[in-house]
Amino acid sequence: MTSLSNAQAIAWATQRLNPFSDSPKLDAEVLLLHILDKPRSYLFTWPEAQLPAPLYQQFKHLIDQRCIGIPVAHLTGEREFWSLPFYVNSSTLIPRPDTETLVEKALALDIPSNAKVLDLGTGTGAIVLSLASEMPSWQLWGVDFSEDAVTLAKKNQQRLGMTNTTIVQSDWFSNVPTQAFDLIVSNPPYIEEDDIHLSQGDVRFEPLSALVAPDNGYADIRHIAKHALEYLTLGGYLMVEHGFEQAEGVKEIFAQMGYGNILTIKDMAGCDRVTLAQKLQ
User: For the chain, how far is it from start to end, CA to CA, in angstroms?
Assistant: 69
The list of the chain residues with pLDDT below 50 reads 1, 199
How many residues are listed for the chain in this entry? Answer: 281
- The pair phi, psi for residue 150, each rounded to 5°, is -60, -45
Q: How many angstroms from the chain centroid is the CA of residue 128?
A: 10
Task: Give pLDDT, residue 2.
Answer: 57
Residues 6+ apart with CB under 8 A from 248: none
In the DSSP assignment, the letter for residue 263 is E
Q: Decide: 145 and 170 in contact? Cβ < 8 Å.
A: yes
Please choose, from the candidates 240, 243, 244, 237, the residue with its C-alpha nearest in 3D space to the C-alpha of residue 260: 237
Q: Decide: 113 and 136 in contact? Cβ < 8 Å.
A: no
Please choose, from the candidates 26, 40, 36, 122, the residue with its C-alpha nearest in 3D space to the C-alpha of residue 81: 122
Task: Give pLDDT, residue 198.
Answer: 52
Q: What is the pTM for the complete model shown?
A: 0.87
Task: Give pLDDT, residue 47.
Answer: 79
Task: Give pLDDT, residue 244.
Answer: 87
Distance CA 167, CA 129 (A): 10
Task: Give pLDDT, residue 94.
Answer: 86
Task: Give pLDDT, residue 218.
Answer: 87
Domains and CATH numbers, the chain: 4-68 (1.10.8.10), 93-278 (3.40.50.150)
Task: Give pLDDT, residue 6.
Answer: 87
Distance CA 254, CA 256 (A): 5
